[in-house]
A and B are shown apart, each in its own frame.
Chain A
């Protein structure tokens, strides 16, 4: 059975109780590095965003340090996310069932998950977070570098228009707008993980229970079981 709904490394690790491996240690470490750099970026970035949040720079030892740290954390996050991206992109490509699932989102929110179409490893909401984060981060990386004052002298001779003040005005506004949108996605992402009980263990231990996989990602579970039956779980 070819992998359509599952990623390399996904497998059933025990039958009684039924436990399914969802993420390997590398992916989990990668995810948490992304999350930690995101936290630093949010705390430092939003300190500059609004006067009443400036006190957040105190967490890092003051405004100068926060200003210095933020773009560095940004580069770390961008690199970390890119590595995560290549691992997750295949299963996040949109599929037909995502449309049906999205149309029935009301049922899910009101607790009737059993009428939702069965899914592979990711639902449309998770895919939205994935692609939204990827797109916004790309915008933030470019605009962030444009407004990285210390670094501007390194490239302004080659790209004088982009380094010019009118372009940087747009860049900083776009950066701030993307930051707001990214916060909305982040809230969606974290809240969905809290609301859907049993999800955190996927990113902590790397495994989920069979019931969790059955309820939320049935096609993924079925494929893993099929591969198990064929004798090639890996």
Chain B
């Protein structure tokens, strides 16, 4: 038997040459959509994370190309509408997108070009997974990766409304939901994500979540020493933290970065709709059905008796007679 691939701790390593078996197994799933009872895995993988240091990003889109290359997607050739974004938005053929924001910093009067790599954040508490009605269409592995399992997806788009980051896109051709997988297929084989591997400045790094937080702290210290006093880590706790994190120079204002949510949370209405309300609704329907059945069994039915038929004939005769007389 071939050995299992190691759990990856970096995107920089080269792939091994000997054949290895996958190390991201169905039994490593800790949560799955519309499957409330998942058997607890027998092992806990080390939590991983991708760290995107926007201060190091030069906006070259190597990651975007690597993503399309690895995932074999072909975004449509678009038109230049005067923006650096290309394509204009995430799509079922583009799982990650460089977003470019021009910001005039009032404190320094300088123009800042804030470039952010947009894509799935791999939330610890994923809204997409909670909203999805199809069993097993969205899974979360014990290393933190949130993955869409296309065979189980029905293309309803509930994940789109569940996600606090507006990430999933439904393929108009295959009718399944798509997004960044954090290269779960590469991670399974001990490799880091393709984008991180391609990044020429190492603005994208990959490793254990712990190591990435430690690395971010060094970066933040460095940024602070260079005048970015609000530099910080974006690992939003409203969704339990994320497995894609940003180092931001303006961590106090995430929304400067092309609308990165300041305090992302699963929308309350999604929580309500997917929460106890459904049980109450089903219970109400069940009670009504049982109540009707009991009434049907124990109460007397409204039955028409033979004397009602006679009364009816009497009424009809009288009414007909009266009408005839009126006419005459």
Chain A residues within 8 Å of B, Cβ to Cβ: 1, 12, 15-18, 47-51, 54, 57, 62-64, 66-68, 108-111, 113, 147, 149-150, 152-153, 165-166, 168-170, 172-173, 176-177, 180, 183-184, 187-188, 191, 194-198, 209-216, 218, 221-222, 225-231
With contacts A17-B309, A18-B316, A111-B300 known, is A50 near B282, CB below 8 A? yes
Q: How far is the CA of A51 from the CA of B269 in the complex (A)?
A: 19
A205 CB → nearest B CB, Å: 16
- On chain A, the residues within 8 Å of B214 by CB distance are none
**Bound complex: CA A191 to CA B297 (Å):** 12
Do the beta carbons of B285 and A187 come within 8 Å of each other?
yes
Query: Contact at A197–B154, with CB atoms within 8 Å?
Result: no
Expressed in whole angstroms, the Cα–Cα distance for A54 and B278 within the complex equals 14
Pairwise interchain contact A231-B304, C-beta atoms closer than 8 A: no
State the CA gap A215–B312 with chains docked (Å): 8
Q: Smallest Cβ distance from B37 to chain A, in angstroms? A: 10
Interface of B is mostly: helix
A51 to B134, CA, bound (A): 7
Question: What total of chain B residues lie within 8 Å of the partner, measured CB to CB?
Answer: 59
**Chain B residues whose C-beta falls within 8 Å of the C-beta of A231 in the assembled complex:** 327
B175 at the interface (CB under 8 A from A): yes
- Residue from A111, A177, A215, A230 within 8 A of B327 (CB atoms): A230
Please report B residues at the A interface, Cβ cutoff 8 Å. Answer: 34-36, 133-135, 152, 154-158, 160-161, 166, 170, 172, 175, 267, 269-270, 272-273, 277-278, 281-282, 284-285, 288-289, 292, 295-296, 299-306, 308-309, 311-313, 315-324, 326-327
Q: A54-B34, A64-B155, A195-B301 are in contact. Are A180 and B285 (CB under 8 A)?
A: yes
Whether A54 contacts B156 in the complex (CB less than 8 A), given A109-B299, A211-B309, A226-B319, comes out as no
Q: Which residues of B contact A172 (CB under 8 A)?
A: 158, 161, 273
Which residues does chain B contribute within 8 Å of A49, judged by CB atoms?
A: 133, 278, 281-282
What is the bound-complex CA distance between A173 and B289, given in angstroms?
A: 23
Residue pair A48, B133 in contact (C-beta under 8 Å):
yes
Contacts of A12 in B (CB 8 A): 316
List, in ascending order, chain B residues with CB within 8 A of A67's CB.
Answer: 154-156, 175
Residue of A108, A153, A195, A213 ringed by the most chain B CB atoms within 10 A: A195
Q: Which of B269, B289, B312 contacts A187 (CB 8 A)?
A: B289
Q: Which residues of B are found within 8 Å of A16, using beta-carbon distances?
A: 313
Asked if A191 and B296 sit within 8 Å, CB to CB, the answer is yes
Q: Is the CB of B285 within 8 A of A165?
A: no
Report the minimal beta-carbon distance from A95 to chain B, rounded to whole angstroms.
20
